[in-house]
Amino acid sequence: MEFLRSILFAIFLVIFTPIWSVLCMLAFPFLSPENRYSFIGLWNKIVIWLLWHLCGIHYEIRGMENMYAVINQPVVILSKHQSAYETIAYIALLPKQLCFVFKRELLWIPFFGWALALLKMIHINRANKQTAALSVASQGRERLSEGKWILLFPEGTRTPRGSTTPYRKGGARLASATGALVIPIAHNAGICWPKNSFLKKPGTVIFSIGSAIPSEGKSGEELQREVETWIETEMRQIDPSAYR
């Protein structure tokens, strides 16, 4: 049954994504940046809805009040990264326009990447770490000044459930340099949509949103350690079986 549902979901994406991407490219010249984000975000909402009703992947959000408490302040979100699910869900579920930091190769994906290129995200060349760090810093400052929130995955890539990859300091350094707050997010999306897996397994993805962490007076290294400690401790609360 999981296999059949996963096939139906894949067929939907193959058909729907190119259609929606073309609609975005046609509509975007007539939309403001904010409306472009909302328009393309409809794709995310539809996909999350389909994952819920077709594949049985539900979600639960804990701590959303922590975001609303700082809704008008500059924020850098640092999140656990286990799956493609959270990259889709965040645009659909979080209350603020997000600016992702992602590898530029995603822009080369037909239709999906082309639509992504129409949004003002931060894309970097991961092969050149120095250039990537400068790009995150310069573009990050600009996006924060525009009222957007920056979202990074400090592990750098998707990691299997129960594993811990050393966190990169780029997001914490950006927050420290700009005085932005940091909101950490832990989740167990890998339980339903494992890394590099075609199968979508029914279950509930728990998103746990921590309280905003002030960056003032802290170095990027100090802030990174605080964020990593919170996320990894919370992971063992929401997905204890993965860490036995």
pLDDT tens for each residue of 69-118: 999 999 999 999 999 999 999 999 999 999 988 776 766 777 666 666 77
The predicted pLDDT at position 127 comes to 62
148, 95 contact by CB (below 8 A): no
pLDDT score of 235? 97
Contact between residue 158 and residue 195 where contact means Cβ atoms under 8 Å apart: yes
pTM: 0.91
pLDDT of residue 133: 64
Distance, in Å, from the CA atom of 204 to the CA atom of 157, rounded to the nearest integer, reads 22
Q: Pick out the chain residues at pLDDT < 50.
A: none
Domains of the chain, start order:
2-243 (3.40.1130)
Percent of the chain at pLDDT > 90 equals: 68
- What are the DSSP E strand ranges found in the chain? 57-62, 75-79, 98-103, 122-124, 149-152, 181-187, 203-209
How far apart, in whole angstroms, are the C-alpha atoms of residue 137 and residue 139?
6
